[in-house]
């Protein structure tokens, strides 16, 4: 049985549901749960999941840097993450998979060091708990405060840095493909001019090589890859999705952007 939702463990009746599922008549049911918030990982939750054949849980932390999490408005402290790991182990779970990200706007090298330090601290705080960090590259999305930022050129290098540092300490590091993140950025910020390119890619086989081949064929007819993927766009620039009403007005997005950039070091 799977419990799915944007934030299942924050449902007001979640504890009652756990007690219900913890009845002996459901001993033959395997229970799994979607990504959880750190402040909801109690020893009770971990124990019930472990008793229902769940080996691990997943938590999105984005970064080990408190400053960077403030920039992206992720209300989470390292102390909460450590407590969640301790509770998970005490309840009988075997591991935790964390999700992080590199290349976030405002990220500095010291933020990567903070992520490494966080993972090493977790290893000490919950010895024997299997830790893994899945890590993706920041890709801008429309109708968000960071829609004006491009993919960070340094992201691939930063993924390799984390991989080297963490795997040498016995921590499982699972990076997502940087090259496919570039393609995500292309599609995420693309405009109607990409329609023919996508048609060509489809005909060529939907591979990374297909995108390269299609771009080469359309050279001179489209802006280059940097424009779509890597360039930071001016706030006054007309965006491909300006004609679509998003959940927040553009003025609100710019306000949130200003609050975030105020925390940048440079």
What tens-digit pLDDT sequence spans the chain (266 residues)?
777 766 777 777 777 877 887 777 777 777 777 778 888 899 998 998 888 888 999 999 999 999 999 999 999 999 999 999 999 999 999 999 999 999 999 999 999 999 999 999 999 999 999 999 999 999 999 999 999 999 999 999 999 999 999 999 999 999 999 999 999 999 999 999 999 999 999 999 989 999 999 999 999 999 999 999 999 999 999 999 999 999 999 999 999 999 999 999 87
Strands (E), the chain: 2-3, 32-33, 56-62, 95-102, 130-137, 172-175
CA distance 261 to 252: 14
pLDDT at 51: 85
Q: Write out the DSSP string of 203-259.
A: HHTSSHHHHHHHHHHTBTTB--HHHHHTPPPPTTSPPTTTTS--SS-HHHHHHHHHH
Residue 257 counted as domain residue: yes
pLDDT at 250: 95
Q: What is the value of pTM for the model shown?
A: 0.90
Integer angstrom CA distances of residue 34 from 11, 59, 61, 177, 243: 13, 9, 14, 23, 35
pLDDT at 6: 64
Residue 135 counted as domain residue: yes
| Domain range enclosing 29 | 2-261
CA distance 211 to 204: 8
β-bridge partners, 175: 135
Residue 87: strand, helix, or coil: helix
What's the CATH code of the domain at 81?
Answer: 3.30.750.200
Q: What is the dihedral of CA 218, 223, 224, 228, to 10 degrees?
A: -120
pLDDT at 36: 84
Please list, residue by residue across 246-263, b when 16 or more beta carbons sit within 10 angstroms of its beta carbon and e when fewer do. Answer: eeeeeeebeeebeebeee
Task: Give me the number of domains the chain comprises.
Answer: 1
pLDDT at 120: 98
> Of 55, 39, 32, which is closest to residue 132 (Cα–Cα)?
55
Q: What is the pLDDT of residues 238-257, one digit of tens each?
A: 999 999 999 999 999 999 99
Residue 7 counted as domain residue: yes
Q: How far apart are the first and last CA of the chain?
A: 48
Residue 203 counted as domain residue: yes
Residue 140 counted as domain residue: yes
CA distance 61 to 75: 10
Residue 266 counted as domain residue: no
CA distance 235 to 233: 6
State residue 204 phi and psi, 5-degree precision. Answer: -85, -15
CA distance 81 to 34: 17
196: Cα separation from own chain's centroid: 30
Integer angstrom CA distances of residue 103 from 69, 146, 156, 164, 178: 13, 12, 9, 17, 11
CA distance 76 to 172: 22
Q: What is the pLDDT of residues 14-41, one digit of tens each?
A: 778 778 877 777 777 777 777 788 888 9
Residue 214 counted as domain residue: yes
Residue 53 structure tokens: 């054949």
């Amino acid at each position: 049985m799977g419990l799915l939702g944007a934030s299942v463990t924050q449902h007001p009746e979640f504890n009652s549901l756990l007690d219900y599922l913890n009845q002996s008549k459901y001993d033959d049911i395997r229970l799994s749960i979607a990504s959880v918030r750190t402040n909801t990982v109690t020893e009770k939750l971990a124990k019930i999941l472990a008793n229902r054949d769940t080996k691990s849980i997943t938590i999105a932390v984005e970064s080990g840097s408190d400053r960077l999490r403030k920039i992206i408005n992720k209300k989470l402290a390292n102390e909460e993450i450590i407590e969640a790991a301790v509770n998970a182990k005490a309840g009988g779970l075997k591991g935790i998979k964390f999700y992080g990200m590199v290349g976030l706007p405002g990220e500095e090298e010291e933020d990567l060091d903070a992520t490494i330090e966080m993972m090493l601290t977790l290893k000490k705080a919950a010895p024997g708990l299997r830790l893994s960090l899945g890590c993706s590259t920041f890709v801008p999305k429309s109708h968000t405060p960071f829609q004006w930022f491009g993919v960070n050129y340094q992201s691939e290098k930063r993924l390799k840095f984390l991989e080297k540092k963490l795997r040498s300490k016995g921590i499982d590091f699972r990076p997502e493909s940087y090259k496919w993140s570039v393609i995500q950025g292309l599609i995420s910020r693309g405009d109607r001019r990409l329609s023919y390119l996508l048609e060509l890619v489809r005909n060529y086989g939907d591979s990374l090589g297909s995108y390269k081949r299609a771009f080469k064929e359309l050279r001179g007819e489209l802006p280059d890859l940097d424009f779509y993927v890597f360039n930071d766009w001016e706030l006054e620039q007309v965006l491909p999705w300006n004609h679509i009403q998003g959940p927040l007005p553009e003025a609100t997005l710019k306000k949130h952007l200003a609050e975030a950039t105020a925390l940048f070091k440079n």
